[in-house]
Amino acid sequence: MPLPLSYPGLKCVLENLEAVKRAHIIGRSPGLQKVDKLIPLCLKDFSIYSNQMEINNLRIYYGRDEVEFEMNGKAFSRKGFASRQDTIKKVFNFYFCERSTIHVDKVDWGESSLPDALALDIKFRVNILISSFRRQLETAISFIDVSSFPLKMLVIIPTNPSIFDMQVVKFAKRLILLVVVDGILTVETLKKLNNKAVIFNYSGYYRVDNMISLIKYHIETKKAVETAFIISTNNIDYINEKFSEFELAFGEFQSDLDGVVERFIPGFPKFSIPINNESRIQVYASEDPEEGGRWKIVIKPVPGL
């Protein structure tokens, strides 16, 4: 007869067990329920919106008095809940509450009313956070453990300049901006950012004159640049148009960028712009095969020659 697992062995098994499978196994084992809350829960993905949430590959749709679960093409539902808030709270309690630690690689937070509607004492340790607008971002922050900051990646839709005053935005290591409103990303806004990289995914034509003005500001002040800016697009005509603007502004600093390992787009100029004795800014166009062949304009700080 095999010996039962010791606590360290059981901890290792449960911590590495897929979260949805773990919840259903624990729900059928009173013995495991005694130790389950003490063992960290690890999720790959978690998302929450006004009418649904996803835990890894489990989708949970909730209405006023019903909740539907869908996974691997199979679905079932349960009724008898008092309200939408009651539904959400019971789902949260089943999967998350009273856990010592909840680790999540990526959280997509599109809900903004949970703190007002529910009394949930939950904290997530997060690497990547996707949160559309400021209100949703503020809600998400209230559920994130402070050890998660600065975030490895933050994805937001900036619709108001005030969002760039938030510490979580300014110091995320990688900030992805889904730009849908013109006039938000001024030079003064860009100066506030302390991220390692800022990526613009723009639905229209991002005005690179702000980037040109920012580079000129660094040239004049000789202030070292810490942030790399990347403008992602699927429009090669846009790349051509914007590099004409860079060439007009910084034509004297054209360079072959020997030693830079990138998939440059042939025919486009490249620049190496001196800021001070210790730093320069490289500007070039490249192709990113990992992003479905999208093109990007890269504005990257590097050590001086």
DSSP at 181: S
Residue 141 C-alpha from the chain's centroid: 13
pTM: 0.87
Q: Which of the given ranges, 22-26, 141-145, 272-276, has the highest pLDDT on average? A: 272-276
Q: What is the pLDDT of residue 286?
A: 92
Domain ranges of the chain: 1-39, 40-144, 149-304
Distances in whole angstroms, Cα of residue 235 to Cα of each of 181, 201, 241, 242, 248: 19, 12, 10, 11, 21
pLDDT surpassing 50 at residue 101: yes
Q: Which residues contact 199 (CB under 8 A, 6 or more apart)?
A: 174, 175, 176, 177, 229, 230, 231, 232
pLDDT surpassing 90 at residue 154: yes
- Percent of the residues in the chain that have a pLDDT greater than 70, as a whole number: 87
Summarize pLDDT for 160-188 with one digit per residue, the tens.
Answer: 888 999 999 999 999 999 887 777 888 89
- The residue with greater pLDDT, 142 or 23, is 142
197-202/294-303 β-pairing: unpaired
Rounded to an integer, what distance in angstroms lies between the CA atom of residue 200 and that of residue 155?
10
